[in-house]
Amino acid sequence: MPPEQPLAPTLIAPDEGRAALPRSIAPMRPRIASAPFNSDEHLFEVKWDGIRAQLARDPEGIRLTDRRGGDLLKLVPEMREAKIPEGVLLDGELIVCDQRGRPSYELLAGRLGPRAAKRGRGPIFVAFDLLYAEHLPLLARPLEERRRRLVALGLGDRRVAVPEHLEHDGEPFFDAVEEYGLEGIVAKRRRSPYVPGARTADWLKYHVTPRADVVIGGLVCEEPRGARFVLCGWSGPNGLAYAGDAYVPPYLGRWLDDATRDFAANASPFASPMALREGLRWLRPSLVAIVEHAGEEGSELAEARFRALRLDGDPAMAMCETPVEVPTAPATGPAERPRLVVLQSLPFGK
C-alpha cells in the first residue's frame, strides 16, 4: 500500500473570504416626534430634502439604488464618479441643492424626471450611515460606532458628503435648522442597531413645516387650471382612509392633471363612502404625494397643500402616525455649536 500523501494546502484568494454586498437593504425609517427635544441618548442630524438611497462599490463598480432596490445610476449617471472604497455600502440621501446650498426636492425631481432639467447644484449623495465596510456587515453595531467608522473613511468630494451631527442639544439644533430654511431634524439613539425595513422610535424626525406622505385617491379638476385639490388617503388594515383635501398650487395644477391620467379609475379607492363633486376624478391608489399641512384634526390633515409626487413612494407606507413623545432636558453645549454643525453639514455651505 503506497504511503499516505500529505494534503496539499488550498489557496484561497483574499476576496473569496469576504461576503458579497447585498444589492440593497430595506432602509430603517424614523417615526415622528411630537416636538424637538434634548437628550444624552441621541445624536441629532439634518433631515435632508431628497430621496432615500444607498451607495455601494463592489468588484463590478458603483451601485446607487433607491429604497426599493431600483437602479438610480441611469437617472443620475454623474454619480458613477463617486469615490468610495470597495466593500462599502452607505445609507443616505440623494439630493440637489439650490443656489443657497439648501437641498430642494423640486430640483431633484426635475433631475430625475423625463425631461431631466439640469438645474441646481449636485446631485450629491449625503452619507449618514455605514452598513458594510470591507465587505463585512455592521448592522448589529451601535449607531455611534457606525458613525465613527463612516467618518474614518475620509469620504467627501463633489459627489459624496458626510454630514456632521450634534450630541444632546436637539432643541437649539432644530432652531438652527429652521433658521437656515431646511426640512427638519432626525434624532437617533446612539446605541441603536440598524434594523432593515423597521419604522422605529430609535429614530425620530421632526419637520420645520409639518408634512406627510399620503396616497392620492383622486383629484378635483377644473378647466383650464387642471388639478385644484388632491384627495388624500392613509393606508391601513381596513383599506384606504380619507385624510382630507390638499390644495394644489396653480402652477402645478395642469402638470399634476396630466401626470396622473394613466392612473384614472372608475370607482372610489376609499374604504368609506365619498360625496361626488364637480370635476372629481378617481385614481388608482398607486401614487404617493408629499403634502405640507397645519396639523391634524382627527385623522384628517388641516390646511394641507400639495408639494410634489414622491418619486420612490410606497402606498403601503403612507400611514397615519401617532407622534412619539420624548422627555427633554436642559441644553448643555455652546450656543453657537448647533449653527456651526448645520453649516458644516451642508455640502455647498462651507
Nine cell digits for residue 126: 449625503
> Could you tell me whether strands 199-207 and 29-32 are parallel, antiparallel, or unpaired per DSSP bridges?
parallel
CATH number of 21-208: 3.30.470.30
Which of 342, 18, 33, 13 minimizes the C-alpha distance to 204? 33
> What was the pLDDT predicted at 204?
98
Q: Which H/E stretch holds residue 150?
A: helix 143-152
Q: CA-to-CA distance for 64 and 56, rounded, in angstroms?
A: 7
pLDDT in tens, 149-198: 999 999 988 999 999 999 999 999 999 999 999 999 999 999 999 999 99
* Angle ∠(260,263,268) on CA atoms, nearest 5: 110
- Could you count the other beta carbons within 10 Å of the beta carbon of residue 294? 12
Residue 1 pLDDT class (50, 70, 90 cuts): very low
Residue identified by cell 437617533 is: 188
SS3 state at 259? helix
Q: CA-to-CA distance for 305 and 340, rounded, in angstroms?
A: 32
- C-alpha pair distances (Å), 308 with each of 45, 106, 289, 292: 24, 7, 6, 10
Please state the domain extents for the chain: 21-208, 211-317
pLDDT in tens, 29-64: 999 999 999 999 999 999 999 999 999 999 999 999
Q: CA-to-CA distance for 327 and 225, rounded, in angstroms?
A: 47
Whether 303 contacts 293, CB under 8 Å: yes
Residue 104 pLDDT class (50, 70, 90 cuts): very high
Please state whether 185 falls in left (phi above 0), alpha (psi between -120 and 50) or beta.
Answer: beta
Please state whether 212 falls in left (phi above 0), alpha (psi between -120 and 50) or beta.
Answer: beta
pTM of the entire predicted model: 0.90
> What was the pLDDT predicted at 271?
97
Nine cell digits for residue 134: 470591507
Say yes or no to pLDDT of 94 above 90: yes
CATH class, domain 211-317, is mainly beta
- C-alpha pair distances (Å), 302 with each of 195, 257, 299: 33, 23, 10
- Could you count the other beta carbons within 10 Å of the beta carbon of residue 234? 24
Asked, colleague to colleague, whether 21-208 and 211-317 share their fold, the answer is no
Q: How far is CA 350 from the centre of its chain?
A: 23
pLDDT in tens, 8-34: 433 333 333 466 799 889 999 999 999
Residue identified by cell 438610480 is: 72
Whether 121 contacts 98, CB under 8 Å: yes
Q: Which H/E stretch holds residue 164?
A: none
Whether 222 contacts 216, CB under 8 Å: no
- Could you count the other beta carbons within 10 Å of the beta carbon of residue 135? 16
Q: How far is CA 320 from the centre of its chain?
A: 17
